[in-house]
Chain A
Amino acid sequence: MATIAEDAQAAPAPVKDVRHLAVGDIVDGFALEAQLPAGGMAGFWRVKHPDFSLPLIMKIPLLRAGEDPITIVGYEMEHMILPRLSGRHVPRFIAAGPFEQPYIVMEFIDGRSVRELLAQTPLAPDRVAAIGAQIAFALHDIHRQHVLHLDLKPSNVLLRPNGEAVLIDYGLAHHELLPDLVAEEIDDPVGTGPYVAPEQVLRDRTDPRSDIFALGVIMYFLATGERPFGEPQRAAEWRRRLWRDPFPPRSWNPQVPPWLQEIILRCIEVDPDRRYATAAQLAFDLQHPNEVALTHRAQRLHRDAFLTVLLRRLRASRTPAPLRRKSVSGMLAGAPIVVAAIDLDGDTPLADALRDAVRRVLVTDPSARLACVHVLKTARLAIDTWEDAQGRNLHLQRMIELKHWARALPIDPTRITYHVLEGGDPGAALVEYARNNQVDHLLLGARGGTPLRRYLGSTSTHVVAQAPCTVTVVRAHRTAVTAETDAAQAST
């Protein structure tokens, strides 16, 4: 058997690769400081450059003459996509090498790979949900930038010390506005066996919900210590997940609560339409376990019966699923997280007008997710304010009123939730809520402007100025008399 060194002599590499480099070498101004463990397709070095103060890593594809087109295509794709991504959830792109010496220099992420957590599985459900939510935030962030990762797995997720997830390795990624070199170069489905989504097995590389599937597999693994679809190596074995459902997580680990099983099994549905429409909607459920609408998925303890599976298998072999063209931006735009902020102390016409406005949004975007939010004004910020008897009653009373307000809205019960927030400043509470929940659109009512309100600034003014999303301010139709009265007041 030939050693690697002999291979290199027999077929001289056309480019200088990681095996020819040593500590102290300078590549285009980047000083090589330490070699890191190599991946399957690339070598890694810690590097330093006088122009950059942040810690850097150089990724060098292991290119050999005429071999392994996936390595070079992976490099081409990452070189295309990484410079176009920004934000906290991706390593910052710094530089790329010339044709003769390909490499990519990017920010070194100080964080632990989720892979390191696999030795500690099963993790506590709350921890699984917290990590899952962080990864979902990161996914939503790259999806908003038109990118699908398509190779999401524990080793490609780094967790910063503050818990934030960073997604690395865009070699198999897809950018919906750029050519997909992977799809054209490789005839077989590509991905990583345990994590690849059914539609990827069928060579559809355009569905953002493939990443949600992979995240479901990761959470399944973290919650149970088992892989739902095993570790198939050959792409031919990947098809099995089209018909064979995995054991429900609770059958491995009874500590998995129904809400977490509901979330995980929904993520790994074979039909993408039955998964979460967006990573933001998934993150929402992971952050609000008590609000997860439980279905038959939550209670299952067994896999489907033999006959059901057999029928699915026959169907899968007869009719290959049609390739659905989904654009990421279209999916995100069609499945927004909408918040209705209802002031239950306010006047009825305004609450009615707000409901009308929400109804119009729901009719336009049938996949929207609606959160009805009321802010309970508290004088104190102590956490136990609502644990005294009176406070608890008020909290519960507000929930009942919220549900009453929303009862006539045209929305599936699994897509609406109710939240009573507490805070001294309703505007600040709403802005924080919008930020923490990846909210796309916030609707709130504005009462008529009294001079005092104009002087001090209203809740809606504050929210419009501060919220990180689209804000619709709703007003009730006012009679001419009221408007004139207001005008008269304003002019005094």
Chain B
Amino acid sequence: MRIAVLSDIHGNREALTACLDHAGTAGADRFVFLGDYVGYGADPGFVVDTVAAHSARGAIAIRGNHDEAIEVGTNRMNDSAALAITWTREQLNPTQRAFLSGLPLTAKEADRLYVHANVNAPAAWGYVTDLYTASRSLIAMDAHIAFCGHIHVPALYHMSQTGKIASFEPVGGVEIPLSRHRRWLAVLGAVGQPRDGNPAACYAILDTERHALTYVRVPYDLDTAARKIRAAGLPPRLADRLYEGR
């Protein structure tokens, strides 16, 4: 089975479409969405509908903090993120909002765990930024591999049987074999708003037969995505940063 895992789409229709097309060509036969479908981008409705359609066909979809904010408010967000949430709330119809509020915080399938922010305290939305925060997830997880997003910068952490933890900066398009003799924490980059200096959309494919993970970078129509953000009256910075990948 080839599982495509996508995180932090953030209302970016062009990036999502490019990633789904790529995953289809790459032979993905299962989809997992790690949350933050909305916020920042100009097409929240399209993204929620697309994820909901996949979910109806059996895909896993879990909740991110921006999805939660549609319902509970934005008191922990910075100004532009809060503005985008307020704008997004008006764009979504009741069906779309109901889909978001019904999503679980985590999902487990076989030896794989899916969560938006971190494993140890998923509802508190803490970031996995370094070896220490990664270690808390790696110790808490009851799985061979856990996937999370939230930070928009791809990284791969692993812990050996003796408890040694290390990080790795994955190279796009290179298949990484996942040794069965250790635990893995795959932090995905963002589909809709990359922040690692590379503006291409990021998602990952897990090949369960080969026990191998590939981080994929997909170029997409940045101009259209950015133009729509400006046209919607959202903060222009949200358009500019798509080009910078920051």
B-binding residues in A (CB < 8 A): 66, 69, 72-73, 75-76, 79-80, 83, 98-99, 102, 177-181, 183-185
Contact = CB atoms under 8 A, between A and B. Distances in A.
B177 A185 contact: no
A146 to B, nearest CB: 9
Interface stretch (B118-126, B145-153, B157-165): B157-165
Q: Which of B156, B162, B168, B179 has the most CB of A within 10 A?
A: B179
Q: Which of A69, A177, A179 has the most CB of B within 10 A?
A: A179
Contact of A179 (B161, B166, B180): B166
Nearest to B169: A179
A344 B81 CA distance: 70
B161 A80 contact: no
Contacts of A76: 179, 181-182
A184 B164 contact: yes
A178 B179 CA distance: 12
Chain A's interface: helix, strand, loop or mixed, by majority?
A: helix
A184 B167 CA distance: 9
A75 B161 CA distance: 13
A178 B181 contact: no
A206 to B, nearest CB: 13
Contacts of B182: 76, 181
Q: Give the 5 A-B CB pairs with smallest separation, nearest first.
A: A184-B166, A99-B180, A179-B168, A76-B179, A177-B174
B160 A79 contact: no
Contacts of B162: 66, 69, 185
A408 to B, nearest CB: 41
A79 B177 contact: yes
B139 interface: no
A80 B179 contact: yes
B211 to A, nearest CB: 9
B177 A178 contact: yes
B158 A185 contact: no
A181 B160 contact: yes
Nearest to B210: A83
Given A69-B161, A79-B179, A178 B174 contact: yes
B171 interface: yes
A418 B158 CA distance: 51
Contacts of A66: 161-162
B152 to A, nearest CB: 21
B168 A69 contact: no
A185 B156 contact: no
Contacts of B174: 177-178
Nearest to B162: A69
Given A69-B162, A98-B180, 20 more contacts: A66-B161, A69-B161, A72-B160, A75-B181, A76-B179, A79-B177, A80-B177, A80-B179, A83-B177, A99-B180, A99-B181, A177-B171, A177-B174, A178-B177, A179-B176, A181-B158, A184-B160, A184-B164, A184-B165, A185-B164
Nearest to A97: B180
Contacts of B176: 178-179
A179 B160 contact: no
B160 A73 contact: yes
8 contacts: A69-B162, A76-B181, A79-B177, A178-B168, A179-B156, A180-B168, A181-B160, A184-B166
A185 B160 contact: yes
A181 B177 CA distance: 12
Contacts of B165: 184
Contacts of A185: 160, 162, 164
B97 to A, nearest CB: 41
Contacts of B181: 72, 75-76, 99, 102
A80 B212 CA distance: 10
